[in-house]
Amino acid sequence: MLAYGIDPKVIMAELTGREAGISKGKGGSMHMFSTEHKFYGGHGIVGAQTPLGTGLAFAARYKWEVLETGPKQVCLCYLGDGAIDQGAFHEAKNLASLMGIPVIYIIENNGYSMGTAIHRHTANHDKLTMRGEAYGIKSIEIDGLDIRNVYDKMKPLVDECRDLQRPGFVDLKTYRYQGHSMSDPQKYRTKDEVDEFKGKDSIANLLDYLLKSEDEGGRGCITEDEWKAMQKKIKDIVMDAVDFAENAADPDPETELVTDTYALPMKNLSPSETYHHGAKNPLL
Amino acid sequence: MTTAYTPDLSKITSDIHPAIGTWELPTFVAESEMPSREGDRLIQYREALREAMSEEMRRDKTVFLIGEEVAEYNGAYKVSQGMLDEFGPKRIIDSPISENGFAGMCIGAAMNGLKPIVEFMSWSFSLVAADPILNNAPKMLYMSGGQWGCPIVFRGNDGAGGQLGSTHSWCVEGLYANVPGLKMAIPSNPYDAKGLLKTAIRDPDPVFFLESERMLGDKAHVPEEEYYIPFGRARVAREGDAVTLVSWGRPVHFCVDAAERLAQDGIECEVLDMRTIRPLDIDSIVESVKKTNRVVVVDQSWPFGGVASETISQICEHCFDWLDHQPVRVNTRDVPTPYAKGLEAAYLPNADRIVEAVNGILA
């Protein structure tokens, strides 16, 4: 969401369940959306976002092809390696390939489905691209720890999928340092393994490249001082977001609890709280 | 002090629609001004559904139909017969047998400005799509804080089709009506099927539209002129003052049959066809109960925690003091749907059981 340019303040406010949050405190960490930025969620059920993403792309193609109101577009649909075993994902890939739907499934493959290592949850785990190719979908593997490499490999695929109106599949290899959630003791992996990946950290690698001169094989476009200033700036942005969220009001149950249930509310959609003989149910 | 989050509307293009966009609603008229139900333009229930979809698809190019066998096969039950010829394969779309996938896909399409009609060959098969149709469609507007709605119609055959056994005979209304955020229509005749489906397609919320395989061939007059039936308005299928029979969908016919038999004994029942159960027109039920003081609710889904139970709860909440007898419900029997013809008949609500219930109340 940050990469989409969404204000960190409204994200933090949603994480903390405030009315100023991007879903007014009704969505939470797993259900955030932005109409402004065409960010379509945020879906809580692992794998369930893949048919939805396919549908967004279906609509984009429909607008281009049937309504003739839009340009060719492409939808990027993100999922983890834990989601690739869901049936919904297989159905989505089949539909996308059959119908020529411009959606790119990007597997953020960090090697763990919560606490279950990939070799314990996915058959043929060392060749995930087979799962795209099996459906006739162009499938590539990308080392996600090298940011420039990600751009160089992704750009042609995005262009191709948009141009040909075809789906794509990316096994984007990455890692996660923290636990899956707040309550994860991380007994399923060794500290050595985590340290090994920290040694190939993608941000550290990029920084190294940007700091090094061109003679040393880098770009030499920022200095140590600029890097320090940048870190401070980021810290400030984060702290501002935390302050904003902490000082934001909780959603008001009087107004926010029942709104946004229906786009077109009507009488008697829900059991009513006031009865015909004048009594009122105090519990509704 | 902070204020509630509001997206910058100037940055939102009108094609990514729903809740925040403009929505052109049909004009509804009073029941007395609706076109007549009497006439000689007799068409089948399935044709009425087809007319509703075709008219709306001619009006609005963002509407499309997808489902198993809807296109080249001309519809597993011939509901969409001829629609492929008129609208072409980009708008009448054969899907693979993957309800979870295509239902979910259409929810995505609805979030991105289209208005899908998703045909489930049977609502029984919607169970494999339970996650998208219950978790995404009805909750999208709420959990996005009003940013994205889901204008979509799910439709198909509901209830026992006749000796199809347990897995193919689901009545899903008891399960699905429990979920807030969706609307549910269950028409009992061709006239209502057309008028309600047209309203469903124009509605900006997800609508679950429950038809019946056993009624697809039923014929009745459907007027030539365009009409829309508003949700939440019950129809008085028969007037009477002894007992109110409340139902929706196919069992409305059982109620009318029972009422006609009872009339021979001088017992005049009022039959209410609810037409939609979310919204549920409790006002019309109350009005009728105030007149009859007795009520039987007939529901072709299971009794435990079902729509009949909800209806009776609301009756007790709204007009308990007018009741001369406790409300009675007639449901399907509380077992999986059997296969054998006789067992299935004994399992479903029918006129005999309704007559028995009414006589029990009046005894």
Does the distance separating the beta carbons of B149 and A35 come in below 8 Å? no
Kindly report the CATH number assigned to the domain that includes residue A122: 3.40.50.970
User: B260 — phi, psi (to 5°)?
Assistant: -70, -35
Average pLDDT rounded to a whole number, residues B248-258: 98
User: B14 — phi, psi (to 5°)?
Assistant: -70, -15
Residue A112 domain-assigned? yes
**Confidence tier at A4 by pLDDT (50, 70, 90):** confident
**Confidence tier at A190 by pLDDT (50, 70, 90):** very high
What is the tally of structural domains in chain A?
Answer: 1
- Residue A268's SS3 state is coil
Question: What percent of chain B is predicted at pLDDT more than 90?
Answer: 90
The residue in chain B having the minimum alpha-carbon distance to the alpha carbon of residue A68 is B61
pTM: 0.95
Q: Using an 8 Å CB-CB cutoff, list chain B residues near A17.
A: none
DSSP state of B322: G
Q: Which pLDDT belongs to residue B7?
A: 63
The residue in chain A having the minimum alpha-carbon distance to the alpha carbon of residue B105 is A55
Q: Of A56, A263, A279, which is closest to B19 when you measure between CB atoms?
A: A263
Q: Which pLDDT belongs to residue B17?
A: 47
The answer to whether residues A35 and B12 touch, using CB atoms and an 8 Å cutoff, is yes
Interface test with chain B among A36, A68, A69, A269, by most B beta carbons within 10 Å: A269
Residue-wise burial string across B340-361, b where 16 or more C-beta atoms lie within 10 A, e elsewhere: eeeebeebbbbbebbbebbeeb
**Confidence tier at B116 by pLDDT (50, 70, 90):** very high
Domain map (residue ranges) of chain B: 41-221, 235-362
Residue A58 domain-assigned? yes
Does the distance separating the beta carbons of B110 and A276 come in below 8 Å? no
The predicted-structure confidence for A45-90, as pLDDT tens digits, reads as follows: 999 999 999 999 999 999 999 999 989 999 999 999 999 999 999 9
Residue A219 domain-assigned? no
Note down the domain range covering A108: 43-189
Residue A28 domain-assigned? no
Residue B38 Cα distances to A221, B51, B254, angstroms: 82, 18, 21
Any residues with CB less than 8 A from the CB of B192 and at least 6 apart, and which?
B229, B235, B273, B275
Residue A12 domain-assigned? no
Q: Using an 8 Å CB-CB cutoff, list chain A residues near B25.
A: 264
Helix pair B99-111, A49-62: axis angle to 10 deg: 60
Q: Which pLDDT belongs to residue B6?
A: 67
Q: Using an 8 Å CB-CB cutoff, list chain A residues near B103.
A: 51
Query: What residues of B are labeled active site?
Result: 99, 168
Q: How far is B106 from chain A (nearest CA, A)?
A: 5
AA identity, residue B269: C
AA identity, residue A263: A
Q: CA A48, CA B15: separation in Å to the nearest integer? A: 24
Does the pLDDT at position A1 exceed 90? no
Q: Which pLDDT belongs to residue B36?
A: 97
The predicted-structure confidence for B177-187, as pLDDT tens digits, reads as follows: 999 999 999 99
The residue in chain A having the minimum alpha-carbon distance to the alpha carbon of residue B145 is A23
What the block records as the tokens of A112 is 């763990």
The predicted-structure confidence for A192-246, as pLDDT tens digits, reads as follows: 999 999 999 999 999 999 999 999 999 999 999 999 999 999 999 999 999 999 9
The answer to whether residues A15 and A62 touch, using CB atoms and an 8 Å cutoff, is no
Q: Within a 10 A sphere around the Cβ of A235, how many other Cβ atoms? A: 10
What the block records as the tokens of A244 is 């904003």
Q: CA B322, CA A205: separation in Å to the nearest integer? A: 78
Q: Which residue has the tokens 């966009």?
A: B21
User: B86 — phi, psi (to 5°)?
Assistant: -75, -45
- Residue B27's SS3 state is coil
Average pLDDT rounded to a whole number, residues B14-22: 50
Q: Which pLDDT belongs to residue B47?
A: 98
Q: Comparing B41-221 with B235-362, is the CATH topology the same?
A: yes
Q: Using an 8 Å CB-CB cutoff, list chain A residues near B24.
A: none
The predicted-structure confidence for A116-160, as pLDDT tens digits, reads as follows: 999 999 999 999 999 999 999 999 999 999 999 999 999 999 999
- Residue B360's SS3 state is helix
Q: How far is B258 from chain A (nearest CA, A)?
A: 28
AA identity, residue A221: C
The predicted-structure confidence for B299-357, as pLDDT tens digits, reads as follows: 999 999 999 999 999 999 999 999 999 999 999 999 999 999 999 999 999 999 999 99
Any residues with CB less than 8 A from the CB of A18 and at least 6 apart, and which?
A25, A245, A248, A249, A250, A251, B2
Residue A53 Cα distances to A90, B20, B104, angstroms: 13, 21, 9
Residue A281 domain-assigned? no
Average pLDDT rounded to a whole number, residues B65-86: 97
CATH of domain B41-221: 3.40.50.970
Q: Of B61, B90, B181, which is closest to A262 when you measure between CB atoms?
A: B181
Any residues with CB less than 8 A from the CB of B244 and at least 6 apart, and which?
B269, B270, B272, B285, B288, B289, B291, B292, B294, B295, B296
Q: Residue B233's closest CA among B248, B243, B245, B213?
A: B248
Q: CA B103, CA B93: separation in Å to the nearest integer? A: 13
Q: Which pLDDT belongs to residue B12?
A: 53
Residue A36 domain-assigned? no
Does the distance separating the beta carbons of A31 and B204 come in below 8 Å? no
Q: How many secondary structure helices (H) and strands (E) does chain A include?
A: 9, 6
Q: Which pLDDT belongs to residue A112?
A: 94
Q: Which residue has the tokens 């940013």?
A: B147
Q: Which pLDDT belongs to residue B1?
A: 45
Q: Of A33, A56, A94, which is closest to B98 when you measure between CB atoms?
A: A94
Residue B10 Cα distances to A35, A149, A188, B7, angstroms: 11, 36, 48, 9
Q: Using an 8 Å CB-CB cutoff, list chain A residues near B90.
A: 62, 65-66
Architecture of the CATH domain B235-362: 3-Layer(aba) Sandwich (3.40)
Average pLDDT rounded to a whole number, residues B161-169: 92
Any residues with CB less than 8 A from the CB of A40 and at least 6 apart, and which?
A33, A52, A53, A56, B108, B111, B112, B148
**Confidence tier at B25 by pLDDT (50, 70, 90):** confident
Q: CA B147, CA B231: separation in Å to the nearest integer? A: 24
The predicted-structure confidence for B40-64, as pLDDT tens digits, reads as follows: 999 999 999 999 999 999 999 999 9
Does the pLDDT at position B14 exceed 50? no
Residue A121 domain-assigned? yes
- Residue B210's SS3 state is strand
| Residue ranges with strand state E in chain A | 75-80, 103-109, 112-113, 116-117, 138-143, 168-173
